Amino acid sequence: MVYGTDMVVTGLSFGNIQIVAEPKRGCYGSRCDGQVCRILHDPEVPPTHQCYAAFKWIQEHSDLIISTGTHGYIEFLPGKACGMSSDCFPEIITGDIPHIYIYTSKNPNEAILAKRRAYAVITDHMIPCMQSAHLYDELDELDDLLSQYANAAMLNEEGRKNLLSNDIRNMSEKLNLFSPSGNSNATLLTDGELIEKIHEKLFLLRDSNINDGLHILSETGHVEKMTRMILSILKYDGSVPSIRRCILEAMGQDYDEIVTQSKNTSILDQCESKAFAMVSDLLMSNHIHKKMVSAQFNGLDWQHPKMIKLRTLLTWIKDKLYPDLLKTSREILQIAKAMDKQYISPGPGGALTRGKTDILPTGRNIYSIDPRKIPTKPPTKSGQTGG
């Protein structure tokens, strides 16, 4: 980008703070056809003159570089995989200026590239608050048609069942639930097969997690958002049992059977409702009200054997998970500490919504290999003996 005979560095100046937009690299903007953007990660294509000029200006006018957002392209520029030399573009671009990189906690693999190739100290941040997607609009209508179909089948109302089957088929085609070719083509399926596959599709959509807005550094969100976030974190088995497993077992249900049968959505809805009530009550008071929890299970005693897992999980949420989530408030402070040349403690990265709760608290310097999970000498010898 030039203005007359000058290269332009695009950005805004606030005293001694310069906010610079990363120069374009292989982007046609609105004219992009999806091909030129491949340059972004091409290991052979060097950066543009605009990129050189912008980062040269940054090096001459800055004491520190802070990269925001996952991810820029500095760590993907041509050069060696690690151990940069003066011929490697990441080193040419960053020079010898200290580099802090604000990175999402869920992407440790690429954060490591930023550390190895762009000499960055990582301060990771929380993912956006999540919640269950649920069904809406025409998807909700389709789910209602499936319920009507099941009712008609139970009552042996063949005429009504055939009408509903046609409506379901038309609605699924309108919503593009199936591929127009191959085995998933709706026209190749019998009514029974179609109903079964739609049940599976809707279950996946209903059970998916979606972002509830964006994450703002150091903000933890209000009780309702935090509750939905905790339920998303504990939806599946991970370092602790799924909250749905704990609740369903307290209800006397088989968790594994229910989550594999896509027609049992009403039981999962009940489960989610109970989970929301218990966790939100816990967060508001920072206390587990045993009578309130028992009331969710028709007065089942808090000490009943069926409640063991749920009791343990709720206690863990109160004593460990919730306090760690509240430490999200330190994210900006951690960046300030890095700017002040203080030590940023390391921590693992990974998918929080897949039960990897050891990534908390955020604001740490991500690593991708957990030394605690590397076999020590005794199990190594045991494995050699067994092999």
Q: Lowest mean pLDDT of 65-79, 189-203, 256-270, 319-333, name the range.
A: 256-270
Q: With a cut of 70, say whether residue 180 has pLDDT above it.
A: no
pLDDT for 181: 45
pLDDT at residue 28 greater than cutoff 60? no
pLDDT tens profile 222-260: 899 999 999 999 988 888 999 999 999 999 988 888 877
Name the pLDDT band for 104 (thresholds 50, 70, 90).
very high
Q: How confident is the model at residue 24 (pLDDT cuts 50, 70, 90)?
A: confident
Percent of the chain with pLDDT over 70: 91
- Using DSSP, how many helices (H) and how many strands (E) does the chain show? 15, 11
Phi-psi region of 156 (alpha: psi -120 to 50; beta: other; left: phi over 0): left
Residue 49 has what pLDDT? 86
Of 187-191, 192-196, 335-339, the poorest mean pLDDT is in: 187-191
CA separation for the pair 145, 78 (Å, rounded): 55
- The rounded mean pLDDT for the chain is 86
Q: What pLDDT does residue 36 have?
A: 61
For residue 371, the model assigns a pLDDT of 66
Per-residue pLDDT averaged across 167-186, rounded?
Answer: 72
Higher-scoring residue by pLDDT: 2, 129: 129
Over residues 332-387, the pLDDT tens digits come to 999 999 999 999 999 999 889 888 899 999 999 998 876 666 777 777 777 788 76
Q: How far apart are CA 260 and CA 325, in angstroms?
A: 30
Query: Is a pLDDT exceeding 60 seen at residue 316?
Result: yes
Mean pLDDT over 299-323 rounds to: 94
* pLDDT for residue 136 is more than 60: yes
At 310 the pLDDT is 95
Q: What are the sequence ranges of the domains in the chain?
A: 2-125, 134-207, 217-328
Quote the pLDDT of residue 381: 79
pLDDT for res 158: 85
Name the DSSP letter for residue 22: P
The pLDDT-based confidence of 121 (bands split at 50, 70, 90) is: very high
Q: What is the pLDDT of residue 46?
A: 86
pLDDT, residue 182, reads 44
Q: What is the DSSP letter of 358?
A: G
- Tokens 């605690």, residue? 372
Q: Of 140, 141, 99, whose CA–CA distance to 118 is shortest? A: 99
318-349: b (≥16 Cβ within 10 Å) or e:
beebbeebebbebbbebbebbeeeeebeebbb
Residue with tokens 């491949």: 38
Which of 179-183, 201-205, 244-248, 363-367 has the lowest average pLDDT?
Answer: 179-183
C-alpha 44/C-alpha 292 separation (Å) is 62
Place of tokens 């339920």: 231
Q: At residue 113, does pLDDT exceed 80? A: yes
Alpha helices in 23-157 (DSSP H): 49-61, 89-94, 108-118, 137-154
